[in-house]
Amino acid sequence: MNNRNLLKGIFLAAIGLAFGLGALRYPVGSLQRAGPGLFPLIVGSFLFLLAVAMIVRSRFTDRVPLQFNTKNIAIILGSLAGFAIFSELLNMIAGTIFLVFFSTLAGTKYSLVRNAIVTAVLIAIGLVFQKGLGLQLPLY
Amino acid sequence: MELIHNLAFGFEHALTMQNLMFCAIGCVVGTLVGLLPGLGPLATISLLLPLTFSIPTTGALIMLAGIYYGAQYGDSVSAITMKIPHASSIVACIDGYQMTLNGKCGLALFTAGVSSFIGGTVAIVVLAGLAPALGQVALLFGPADYTALMLFGFVCVSFVTTGSLLDGLAMCMVGVLLGQIGTDVNSGMQRYTFNLPFLIDGIGLVSIALGCFGIAEITKNLDAHEERTPFQGKIHLMPTWPEFKRIIPSALRGSVVGSFLGILPGGGPSIAQFAAYAIDKKFSKHRDEIGKGAIEGVAGQAAADEAAARTSFIPLMSIGIPENAVMALMMGAFIIKGIQPGPNMIAGHPELFWGLVASMWVGNCFLLVLNVPLVRYWLSVFKIPYVVLFPTILFFCCVGTYSVNNSVEDVYITAAFGFMGYMFLRLGLEPAPLMLGFILGPMLEENFRRALLLSRGSFTTFVTRPISGTLLGLIALFVLWQFIVFMREQRKRQDAAAPAVQSPVPAGQD
């Protein structure tokens, strides 16, 4: 089962099915007078066919094991989500502090001092964006 | 004569204080992201899109274009000194890195810089001459032809970027489907929004690009645990006269090849480099040395790279169809600025078109200065450890997505696409076709529906019109050819597998 070529076919087939079946909830119309559902239905079905072809192809090609490192991607996504939550509830400075200190857990070496410097520089850049370029960042 | 007049008009706009500044910023940022891992031109352009809202149109596009071609320069520097290409300078690694090992690093950098300059200059002449003429041709295109042209573009891009037609096409379709999310322009109906208010206007271009290219790339680099060793050697830049003479013919050859390949759909820098390198290997006077650190091996590909990066603007600005993912993003930038690229753009916004063309040459001069005399200062960028770099890039990604709509929802969407991009990466799927599909999706639907409306629901219109018929015929031939190649490989594998226990070479093309 752990075969990258097979899994990618299944993954894409699922996307094709989801959009294709979803399109049926909208009026499809006729070819002459297409409704909003027609085009996604066609494209979704086409993607599904391509994915089926990939699944068939995977039976003939060599297996490539799927490598998936959950730790790093989880840390990165967590730091993005944390940035968003802190920025909304508190302010963006808090979000930035969280982002730097949490995301660097994925790095090779962890240093509090270095993180503090990086955070300070980034906050300064944020201030420049806010004051100089007129971006509306809720920094504080 | 008209060309010179137009170019003079362009320089008038490109040489204003303000536009010079934007051009310089674009080139510096471009070189920087070309040097650094984890941020290609795609991610950087999307990152800077929100910043361009408050900048005048011409300046904004000059800056974004500068990032694109500046990144090509920076990329070749990192390829030559450390054998690490990020975006596209794969070929520069071969002879360029070999020259570094031979102690001729400075010469390689000089060659790459000067050849890129030559390539860029030739391409600008092609761009200025050809784009208006091609725009006339584009006026003949009807909706059916546009539909066929976009499909043709999908097929070419899929094949060129992934090497596997099936994978690439599937990714294009995923992109088209993602582009369906939001309000349907024709009926006003909301599709796939799940009643979430922030999906009504569709998914943001910036979120998808940063998720799939920025976040996924960072995570990949973190997984790899690569420690880069910065280049420490001495750099002696100036070549001797005989060495300099070797650069010119090869660079000119590369410029012509690159300019031509840059125009074709699916073309662009990476394929142009390989072609130029192959041609140098065949026709160069010093062909025996190529592969062992020859000047020609660096000059030809660098010129082709830079030339193709510029001529790839031609299809976008004259026909209105981007030919690769970066151009698709540039098209997004044009549209955000309220300008529809296409046959009417040159006539409608001459200051924009000619200003942009002229600015490319100005940018060329900037880049020559930045990358030849100043190159040793850039090399210190490599000393920044990745553990400092990636939180910084993440911060820019967050601020960039946030400022599109000043909403944190976009940050969540970026994170979601970061996960999706990482999945694609691990599954061996290339996200560049997805980007193209996403941006062209709404246009494809519009033209497809209009073509069917005009033909009263009959598909024959796609075959009987000469332009679309030809393009669809080419697609069919291409698919057939791919199928035959696959079957042949299968046959070979079976033959090989019979005597040997294990087949040594994996047959998959990806």
pLDDT 10s digit of each residue in chain B, 510 long?
Answer: 677 888 888 888 888 888 899 999 999 988 888 887 767 778 888 888 877 777 888 888 899 898 888 888 888 887 787 776 665 667 777 777 888 777 778 888 888 888 888 988 898 888 888 888 888 888 888 889 889 988 988 888 888 777 788 888 999 999 999 999 988 888 888 888 888 888 888 888 888 888 888 888 888 888 876 666 666 666 677 777 877 778 888 888 889 888 888 888 776 777 788 788 888 877 777 777 777 777 888 888 888 888 888 888 888 888 888 888 888 888 888 888 888 888 888 888 888 888 888 898 898 888 888 877 777 787 777 778 888 888 988 998 898 888 888 888 889 999 999 999 999 988 888 888 898 899 888 889 989 988 988 888 888 888 888 889 999 999 999 889 988 988 888 888 788 766 544 444 444 444
Q: Are B105 and B81 in contact (CB under 8 A)?
A: yes
A38-57 average pLDDT score: 92
For B:393-422, CB contacts with A below 8 A are 394-395, 397-399, 402-403, 406, 408, 411-412, 414-415, 418-419, 422
Per-residue pLDDT, B286: 74
Question: Rounded to the nearest 5°, which phi and psi values hold at B234?
Answer: -85, 150
Per-residue pLDDT, B498: 66
Per-residue pLDDT, B501: 46
SS3 label, residue A5: helix
Q: Determine, for residues B187 and A35 on separate chains, whether the beta-carbon distance falls below 8 Å.
A: yes
Of the candidates B56, B58, B70, B57, which has an alpha carbon nearest to the alpha carbon of residue B26? B70
Per-residue pLDDT, B84: 67
Q: Are B410 and B401 in contact (CB under 8 A)?
A: yes
Q: Are B50 and B392 in contact (CB under 8 A)?
A: no
Q: Are B371 and B378 in contact (CB under 8 A)?
A: yes
Closest partner CB to A96 (pick from B395, B423, B457): B395
Of the candidates B325, B287, B425, which has an alpha carbon nearest to the alpha carbon of residue B45? B325
SS3 label, residue A123: helix
Q: Are B264 and B471 in contact (CB under 8 A)?
A: no
Chain A residue closest in CA terms to B167: A54
Q: Are B158 and B433 in contact (CB under 8 A)?
A: yes
Q: Note whether B244 contacts A: Cβ–Cβ < 8 A.
A: no
Q: Note whether A131 contacts B: Cβ–Cβ < 8 A.
A: no
Residues with Cβ within 8 Å of B434's Cβ and at least 6 positions away in sequence, in order, are B171, B172, B174, B175, B178, B208, B212, B424
Rounded Cα–Cα distance for residues B96 and B218 (Å): 26
Picking from A77, A112, A139 by the largest number of B CB atoms within 10 A of its own CB, the best residue to mutate is A77
Per-residue pLDDT, B249: 84
Per-residue pLDDT, B418: 92
Rounded Cα–Cα distance for residues B191 and B196 (Å): 11
Per-residue pLDDT, B504: 45
Task: Classify residue B335 by burial, with Cβ atoms within 10 Å: 0-12, 13-18, 19+.
Answer: middle
Q: Residue B64, CB half-sphere, CA atoms under 13 Å: how many? A: 30
pTM of the predicted structure, to 2 decimals? 0.86
Tokens of B316: 């976008």
Closest partner CB to A60 (pick from B388, B427, B490): B490
> Cα–chain-centroid distance for residue B509?
22
The predicted-structure confidence for A70-80, as pLDDT tens digits, reads as follows 888 999 999 99
Distance (Å) from the alpha carbon of B366 to chain A's nearest alpha carbon: 24
Count contacts between A and B (CB, < 8 Å).
195
Per-residue pLDDT, B503: 42
SS3 label, residue A56: helix
Per-residue pLDDT, B125: 87
For B:46-65, CB contacts with A below 8 A are 50-51, 54
* SS3 of B334-366: HHHCCCCCCCCHHHHCHHHHHHHHHHHHHHHHH
Rounded Cα–Cα distance for residues A31 and A28 (Å): 9
> Where residue A61 falls among pLDDT bands split at 50, 70, 90?
confident
Of the candidates B359, B239, B357, which has an alpha carbon nearest to the alpha carbon of residue B299? B239
Rounded Cα–Cα distance for residues B310 and B316 (Å): 11
Per-residue pLDDT, B507: 41
Give the DSSP letter of residue B318.
Answer: I
Sign for the pseudo-dihedral over CA of B57, B60, B66, B67: negative
Residue bearing tokens 């840059």: B262
SS3 label, residue B183: strand
Give the DSSP letter of residue A34.
Answer: B
Q: Note whether B508 contacts A: Cβ–Cβ < 8 A.
A: yes
Q: Note whether A140 contacts B: Cβ–Cβ < 8 A.
A: no
Q: Determine, for residues B403 and A109 on separate chains, whether the beta-carbon distance falls below 8 Å.
A: no
In chain B, which residues have their Cβ closer than 8 Å to the Cβ of A60? 490, 493, 507
Residue bearing tokens 């850049």: A125
Element housing B190 (H / E) = strand B190-191
Q: Note whether B163 contacts A: Cβ–Cβ < 8 A.
A: no
Rounded Cα–Cα distance for residues B140 and A82 (Å): 52
**Which stretches does DSSP call E strand in B53-189?**
182-183
Give the DSSP letter of residue A29.
Answer: B
In chain B, which residues have their Cβ closer than 8 Å to the Cβ of A38? 449
Of the candidates B344, B312, B346, which has an alpha carbon nearest to the alpha carbon of residue B330? B312
Q: Determine, for residues B506 and A62 on separate chains, whether the beta-carbon distance falls below 8 Å.
A: yes
Distance (Å) from the alpha carbon of A98 to chain B's nearest alpha carbon: 10
Rounded Cα–Cα distance for residues B38 and B165 (Å): 26
> Cα–chain-centroid distance for residue B279?
22
Q: Which residues pair with B183 in a beta bridge?
A: B190
| Terminal-residue alpha carbon distance, chain B | 49
Q: Determine, for residues B429 and A8 on separate chains, whether the beta-carbon distance falls below 8 Å.
A: yes
In chain B, which residues have their Cβ closer than 8 Å to the Cβ of A12? 170, 174, 429
Question: Rounded to the nearest 5°, which phi and psi values hold at B505?
Answer: -110, 130
Query: How do strand B182-183 and strand B190-191 relate by DSSP bridges?
Result: antiparallel
Q: Are B175 and B212 in contact (CB under 8 A)?
A: no
Closest partner CB to B218 (pick from A22, A76, A133): A76
Tokens of B287: 């062909």
Distance (Å) from the alpha carbon of B15 to chain A's nearest alpha carbon: 23
More reliable by pLDDT, A112 or B81: A112
Per-residue pLDDT, B226: 61
